Amino acid sequence: MIRRPHTSICGGRGRCTTCRVRVSQPIGQLPLPADVEEQALARLGAPDGIRLACQLRPRKGVFVEPLVAAGAGGIAPAPRETFGEEKCVTVMFLDVRGSTKLAEHRLPYDVVFLMSHFFAEMATAVEKARGHYSNFTGDGLMALFGMDGDCADGAVGALKCAADMLDRLDRINQRMAGELETPLAIGIGIHTGDAIVGRMGPPKTPILTALGDTVNTTARLESMTKELGAPVVVSLASLTTAGIEVQVRIEEIQLRGRSTALQAAVLDRDALALCLIHEQSDLPA
C-alpha cells in the first residue's frame, strides 16, 4: 500500500470527485465502477480512464495519476468535517421585488434604513421558526431549516416562516406607507433535499451556509415567483417532507439550467395558510 496524500473532501464515500485519478494502464483489467462511483463520474462528465481513488479496488498493479493535487487551492487533506457535513435541510431564498427601482430615487441612507428594518423583521421570522439566517445579498436572504437533524420539522418550519414573513411584510408596508410609492413585495422559494452544510467562505470570515443542487434549485424556485405571479413557490419534496396532505395544485416547473421539470406548488397567502391548517406538527406557531 502506498500512503500517498490526496484530496478527498467527502471522506472517501464517493460523494465528491476530488480524489479522481487517471488510470493509464491496464484499464481493461479494472473492476467496473459501483453505482456510487458511476453516478459521481457521470455527473462530472469524466472520460474513460478516470476513476475515483476512494472507490477503485484494482486486483493488479496499475499506473495512476492524481488529477487534484493534495493541498490544491489551499485545501490540505483533512477530515470531511472540515468541509461540511451532508444532511437533509430545507432551504429558503427570499428576494425583494423591485429593489433597484426602490433605491433609484432615494438617498443611500434612506435605503439602508428601510432595508435594515425589513431584514430585522425577516430575521425574526426565521428565528421564531427555528431556522438559521445564513446570509443576505442586499435585497434578499437565504435561510436553512432542519439544522438540528429533523428534516420534517425543518420543512414545516420553513412553511411557517414564509407565512410569518408575508404577515410581517404587510405590517411593514402599513408602517412605511408614507415612505413608499408602492408597497414592498417579496418572492420566496422553498425546497428540501441533501446539501453540504458547514462553515465556508474566506478562511478569516467563514459563515455557516449550505452548498449543492438543493440550494441551487431553491434559488431558481424563488426566481420563478415573479414569472408565476405568486409570493411563494414550494417544491413537492418540501410539502411531502412536512407531511402536508391538503390538496394544492402541483405544477411541473421547468427551471433554468435543469434538464427535467420539478414538481412544485405555486402558493398565494390563502393556499399557504390552508397547508399550515392541515399540518399536524407540534412546532410552536
Cβ neighbours for 210, distance < 8 A, ≥ 6 positions apart: 84, 89, 91, 134, 144, 195, 196, 197
What span, in angstroms and rounded, lies between the C-alpha atoms of 122 and 105? 24
State mean pLDDT over 259-283: 82
Closest CA to 110 of 176, 187, 183: 176
Please tell me the predicted confidence (pLDDT) of residue 220: 95
Euclidean distance between the first and final Cα of the chain, in Å? 57
Domains along the chain?
Answer: 20-82 (no CATH), 84-277 (3.30.70.1230)
Report the alpha-carbon angle 109-201-194, nearest 5. Answer: 110
pLDDT tens per residue across span 103-155: 776 778 788 888 888 999 999 999 999 999 998 877 899 999 999 878 999 99
**Per-residue pLDDT for 81 more than 90?**
no
Mean pLDDT of the chain: 84
pLDDT tens per residue across span 167-221: 999 999 998 887 777 888 999 999 999 999 988 888 888 888 999 999 999 999 9
The DSSP code for 282 is -
**Per-residue pLDDT for 284 more than 80?**
no
Buried residues in 11-24 as b, exposed as e (16+ CB within 10 A): beebbbbbbbbbbe
- For residue 184, give the amino acid letter: L
Closest CA to 242 of 277, 213, 268: 277
What span, in angstroms and rounded, lies between the C-alpha atoms of 124 and 111? 20
Percent of the chain with pLDDT over 70: 87
What span, in angstroms and rounded, lies between the C-alpha atoms of 207 and 213? 19
Q: Residues 250, 216: contact at Cβ < 8 Å? A: no
**Per-residue pLDDT for 78 more than 50?**
no
CA 272 centroid distance within chain: 21
Identify which has the larger pLDDT, 122 or 8. Answer: 122
- For residue 210, give the amino acid letter: A
